[in-house]
């Protein structure tokens, strides 16, 4: 099949890459592509139909999808950088999962934590927590840059990002979805102080707690979410590139 783009309408025609006899309810569902892995076969799809499955966001192999309508792809208005101040103008171009929070998000201020998905999206941290469906709260959202007013920030004022390892000790806790059907363990931001947490892949999860302590997440866990691994890998590589640019010694002038 051809290249997939964010916004494409697709139908799930096979479950390639998933264990046999799991999530068969996905077959025949249609939805919108909300993220395409820059490397590898993973695609994130938010299901639109049938209504009984609408709103579910799943990571699927691109070979299991048939394109029903291609998106009108336009270049992003601006390329965000780490630390840039932002204002949320709309949620029109962001994941359909986020549209229900339009009234809460529009007008919010925050900063870019990390550019994502080739610069078309940004992980942003808002100044105010927003209550999400299920009773949880979050400050961090992945939004399309065309939904943001991004203002440039001088690199000298960009806060340094602490390094992390996506495989282990990356500073995320564990959240679970699909306990009774197709359980997956997702990476959620800490501290996990609310009963519902938004994972790196934007799934709504239940934190895995022992008392008040959230079990640390690792990509090496059994049933670790593939979409979370891909998102955090992008974050890790972006942070490393950013730090290398800041820490690089000045170039010596060329001798005449």
46-94 pLDDT, tens digit per residue, is 888 887 777 777 778 888 888 888 765 554 444 778 888 888 888 888 8
Residue 245 has pLDDT above 70, yes or no: no
Q: Could you say which DSSP state residue 166 is in?
A: S
Please give the average per-residue pLDDT across 13-36, as a whole number: 78
Residue 3 has pLDDT above 70, yes or no: yes
Least confident span in 15-29, 96-110, 136-150 = 15-29
| CA–CA dist 156, 14 (Å, integer) | 49
Residue 58 half-sphere exposure toward CB, CA atoms < 13 A: 29
- Burial class for 249, CB neighbours closer than 10 Å (0-12, 13-18, 19+): exposed
Task: Give residue-wise pLDDT tens across range 143-164.
Answer: 888 888 887 654 434 333 333 4
Task: pLDDT band for 174, please (50, 70, 90 cuts).
Answer: confident
How wide is the angle at C-alpha 96 spanned by C-alphas 91 and 97, nearest 5°? 100
Identify whether the C-beta of residue 74 lies closer than 8 Å to the C-beta of residue 42: no
Q: Choose between 45 and 18: higher pLDDT.
A: 45
Residue 169 has pLDDT above 50, yes or no: no
Q: Choose between 36 and 62: higher pLDDT.
A: 62
Q: Choose between 244 and 59: higher pLDDT.
A: 59
Task: Estimate the share of the chain in helix, then strand, then coil, as percent rounded to the nearest 5.
Answer: 20, 35, 45
| CA–CA dist 174, 219 (Å, integer) | 10
Predicted local confidence at residue 236, as pLDDT: 62
Residue 243 has pLDDT above 60, yes or no: no
Average pLDDT across the chain, whole number: 75
Residue 1 has pLDDT above 70, yes or no: no
Predicted local confidence at residue 155, as pLDDT: 40
**Which residues lie across from 216 on neighbouring strands?**
173
Identify whether the C-beta of residue 81 lies closer than 8 Å to the C-beta of residue 241: no
| CA–CA dist 104, 101 (Å, integer) | 5
Residue 65 half-sphere exposure toward CB, CA atoms < 13 A: 28
Residue 170 has pLDDT above 60, yes or no: no
Residue 41 has pLDDT above 70, yes or no: yes
| CA–CA dist 169, 110 (Å, integer) | 26
Q: Choose between 190 and 64: higher pLDDT.
A: 64
Predicted local confidence at residue 17, as pLDDT: 67
Task: pLDDT band for 129, please (50, 70, 90 cuts).
Answer: confident
166: nearest Cα among 238, 115, 117:
238
Residue 250 half-sphere exposure toward CB, CA atoms < 13 A: 3
């Amino acid at each position: 099949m051809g290249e997939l783009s964010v916004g494409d309408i697709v139908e799930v025609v096979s479950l390639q890459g998933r264990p046999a006899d799991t999530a068969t309810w996905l077959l025949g569902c249609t939805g919108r592509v909300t993220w395409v892995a820059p490397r590898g076969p993973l695609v994130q799809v938010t299901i639109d139909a049938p209504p009984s499955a609408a709103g579910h966001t799943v990571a699927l192999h691109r070979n299991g999808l048939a394109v029903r309508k291609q998106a009108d792809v336009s270049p992003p208005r601006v390329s965000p950088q780490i630390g840039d101040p932002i204002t949320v103008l709309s949620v029109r171009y962001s994941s359909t999962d986020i549209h229900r929070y339009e009234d809460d998000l529009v007008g919010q201020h925050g900063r870019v934590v990390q550019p994502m998905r080739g610069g078309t999206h940004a992980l942003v941290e808002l100044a105010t927590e927003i209550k999400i469906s299920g009773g949880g709260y979050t400050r961090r959202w992945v939004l399309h840059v065309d939904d943001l007013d991004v203002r440039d920030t001088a690199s000298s004022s960009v806060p340094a990002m602490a390094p992390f390892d996506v495989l282990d000790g990356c500073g995320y806790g564990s959240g679970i979805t699909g306990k009774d059907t197709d359980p997956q363990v997702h990476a959620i931001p800490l501290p996990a102080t609310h009963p519902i947490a938004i994972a790196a892949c934007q799934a709504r999860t239940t934190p895995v707690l022992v008392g008040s302590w959230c079990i640390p997440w690792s990509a090496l866990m059994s049933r670790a979410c593939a979409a979370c691994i891909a998102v955090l890998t992008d974050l890790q590589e972006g942070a490393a590139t950013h730090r290398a640019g800041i820490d690089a010694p000045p170039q010596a002038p060329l001798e005449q």
